[in-house]
Structure 1
Amino acid sequence: MNNEKPIVLGLWPIAGVTTMGVTRSDAEATIATAIDLGVTAFDTAFSYGYDGESDKILRPFLAEDRDRFEVIGKVGQRWSSDRKRVIDGSAGTLTTDAEESLRRLGIDCFDVLMLHSPDPNVAIETSAAAIAELQRRGLCKRTGVSNVTPAQRAQFASVVRCDAIECPLNLLQRDSLDQLIPEANQDGGQVYVFWTLMKGLLAGKIKRDHVFAEGDSRPGYPIFQGAARERTHRILDQMQILGERTNRTIAELSIGWAVSQPGVTAALVGARRPTQIRETCTATRLPPEIVSEIDQIVASTDSDGM
């Protein structure tokens, strides 16, 4: 990254596919606010929006000062004519979609171009070779892969250098710390983590009695259901107390915990309104004693106890 702030603005929420009530004016204001607050890196994808909305909304900001910003792009997912998500890691599709995404953005080159997710019907080495060819053509400076297992990352890296990965990480979902992140770091790769707020739940704003709008995808995630949801709220109750003592919001603590883990470069933080990014982009790496206290809160909140 070209700045010290460990925050990348993730543009999925402003694409309007699973986020309710997105408006173009709010999306533009969110990006402008993030820039005003020092964010200079953005994460987009060919499939962020049914018609490339995130690329198109970001475009005018890049036009003002391209060299100031870092753009992470992803290819390998797209939408069918009936708006079904399609994973396609074939060389032809990756090439076509990368070229189209660059046209939408109005730029010549991605700073990082990633395979969005492995295609079960295409060898990941084949997809990696297509990304490598795009790099050879000068369409990206660095290459990477998202949504992979450690074995898949290694397979990708056997074809082209894996400069970066994107993977899930939050204080409740830590599997990426076991092998994926350490191995990426060992190879000199950057690590961008998502779901640090687990769709907003770990920001502490979604209360126990919250009713989700029709069409909101979040109730379908296991962490939003039953005992797992209640355990999370008990953890958040304790983090509220910690936040009051340390003058931090729950969101700042949750994101701060993630970016404080060894090997993590930055967190991908989404927002669809300026008020959301004003809070989350202020998150910083935390002192070790606060990280340790968060770990103790999580460990001591028994998943079976009420």
Structure 2
Amino acid sequence: MNPSSKIVLGLWPIAGVTTVGVTDSDARETIRTAIDGGVTMFDTAYSYGYDGESDRLLSEFVSGDPDRFFVMGKVGQRYTVDRDRAVDGSASQLTADAEEHLRRLKLEQIDLLYLHQPDPNVALEVSAGAMLKLKERGLCRSVGICNATTEQIRQFADIAGCAAIQCPLNLIQRDSLQTTIAPTAARGIGSYVFWTLMKGLLAGKITRDHQFAKGDSRPNYPIFQGEQRRKAHDIVDRLGQIGEQTGKTIAQLSIGWAISQPGVAGALVGARRPDQIAETVDATELSSDVLSEIDEEVKQHFPW
């Protein structure tokens, strides 16, 4: 069973938008393996898939026993008929997407519904007010916001309340600890973090000379390029050594580092195959000694 309540299965990889080679059978087995490992929290979104693929797959497991599971959803992003990503934080669109979100999931209520991101063309007060109405209608138990600045989080919370936020964090890219997570925690709001494995790089499965398949979006990220990638692989090598000493895998150490940080309520761990989640569900918070070893190694390559 999963020893940590801080592991959330993130369903973006099984949506098939940026991940190459996703199959429904693998996706179903991944969700089933997560549940067998003790995971009860899932993160999906209206825009996870061109046609709600993430929601529909998840519904097969959670709709029959909603009290057993905690589902996080998101509205405010969508894909057009041309498969272009669009942001729409208008009240009418947020409402329509939330209702469709629930139909796909075959649920009467989403446990935590986020505004996926602030819409630069819609006043945040409008979007927050719409999210509050969704909560008052009972479509969700609580609301939150993702990909927002500290000031935007404050504005949102003042209008709609805010149970949680989502922001990026991993042991290399840790700016959000000070810019977002700490001030948010001071308001009594927890942070769920993503990119804890930085698209697989911090899982230790990508070699220095790995060639990504055509269509894979990961080479577009700076951390997968040039000197940054070389430094990252040096850190991964050291994580491997620490793992041998502690009996943990590189992925477990990377996730463990993230969920050990103050203010972090949980880590969104993505997977598209069952073997991936079978490993990472066993990640737990790390001892202060192990955290110090990791921090010292990272500081040598990416000083903060």
Task: Check whether TM > 0.5.
Answer: yes
* Match of residue 148 from structure 2: 148
Question: In the aligned structure 2, how far is the partner of 1:176 from the partner of 1:153?
Answer: 13
Question: In the aligned structure 1, how far is the partner of 2:79 from the partner of 2:144?
Answer: 22
* Match of residue 81 from structure 2: 81
Matches within 5 A, 1:216-255: 216-255=216-255
Shift in Å, 1:183: 2.1
Shift in Å, 1:300: 2.0
Question: In the aligned structure 2, how far is the partner of 1:163 from the partner of 1:226?
Answer: 39
Letter of the 2:260 counterpart:
S
* Match of residue 284 from structure 1: 284
* Match of residue 162 from structure 1: 162
* Match of residue 208 from structure 2: 208
Aligned with 2:71: secondary structure?
strand
* Match of residue 128 from structure 2: 128
Shift in Å, 1:65: 1.4
Aligned with 2:166: secondary structure?
strand
Matches within 5 A, 1:1-306: 4-301=4-301
Aligned with 2:145: secondary structure?
strand
Question: In the aligned structure 1, how far is the partner of 2:287 from the partner of 2:223?
Answer: 27
Letter of the 2:92 counterpart:
G
Question: In the aligned structure 2, how far is the partner of 1:74 from the partner of 1:21?
Answer: 24
- C-alpha RMSD of the superposition: 1.1
Question: In the aligned structure 1, how far is the partner of 2:302 from the partner of 2:185?
Answer: 32
Over residues 133-167 of structure 1, what are the superposed CA-to-partner deviations in whole Å (9 max), with x where a residue is unaligned?
00000011111000011111111112111110000
CA contact (8 A) 1:143 1:162 kept: yes
Question: In the aligned structure 2, how far is the partner of 1:146 from the partner of 1:175?
Answer: 16
Question: In the aligned structure 1, how far is the partner of 2:5 from the partner of 2:162?
Answer: 22
Question: In the aligned structure 2, how far is the partner of 1:302 from the partner of 1:126?
Answer: 39
Aligned with 2:160: secondary structure?
coil
User: Where does structure 1 differ by over 6 angstroms across 4 or more consecutive aligned residues?
Assistant: none
Letter of the 2:90 counterpart:
S
CA contact (8 A) 2:191 2:266 kept: yes
Aligned with 2:148: secondary structure?
coil
Letter of the 1:33 counterpart:
T
CA contact (8 A) 2:76 2:94 kept: yes
Aligned with 1:71: secondary structure?
strand
Letter of the 1:224 counterpart:
F
Shift in Å, 1:238: 1.0
Question: In the aligned structure 2, how far is the partner of 1:137 from the partner of 1:31?
Answer: 29
Question: In the aligned structure 2, how far is the partner of 1:300 from the partner of 1:15?
Answer: 36
Question: In the aligned structure 2, how far is the partner of 1:268 from the partner of 1:113?
Answer: 15
C-alpha change, 1:103 and 1:240, in structure 2 (3 Å) is same
Question: In the aligned structure 1, how far is the partner of 2:239 from the partner of 2:4?
Answer: 26
Structure 2 residue runs without a partner (length 5+):
none
Question: In the aligned structure 2, how far is the partner of 1:278 from the partner of 1:263?
Answer: 26
C-alpha change, 1:227 and 1:4, in structure 2 (3 Å) is closer
Letter of the 1:210 counterpart:
H
Shift in Å, 1:4: 4.7
CA contact (8 A) 1:45 1:55 kept: yes
CA contact (8 A) 2:4 2:282 kept: no
Question: In the aligned structure 1, how far is the partner of 2:61 from the partner of 2:106?
Answer: 10
CA contact (8 A) 2:252 2:284 kept: yes
Over residues 150-206 of structure 1, what are the superposed CA-to-partner deviations in whole Å (9 max), with x where a residue is unaligned?
111111112111110000000111111113112222222221000000000011110
Q: Percent identity?
A: 61
Shift in Å, 1:60: 1.5
Question: In the aligned structure 2, how far is the partner of 1:56 from the partner of 1:198?
Answer: 26
TM-score norm. by structure 2 comes to: 0.97
Give the number of aligned pairs. Answer: 301
Shift in Å, 1:86: 0.1
Question: In the aligned structure 1, how far is the partner of 2:265 from the partner of 2:252?
Answer: 16
Aligned with 1:179: secondary structure?
helix
CA contact (8 A) 1:125 1:158 kept: no
Question: In the aligned structure 1, how far is the partner of 2:111 from the partner of 2:302?
Answer: 43
Letter of the 1:205 counterpart:
K
Structure 1 residue runs without a partner (length 5+):
none
Shift in Å, 1:302: 6.2
Question: In the aligned structure 1, how far is the partner of 2:70 from the partner of 2:217?
Answer: 29
TM-score norm. by structure 1 comes to: 0.96
CA contact (8 A) 2:4 2:284 kept: no
Aligned with 1:67: secondary structure?
helix
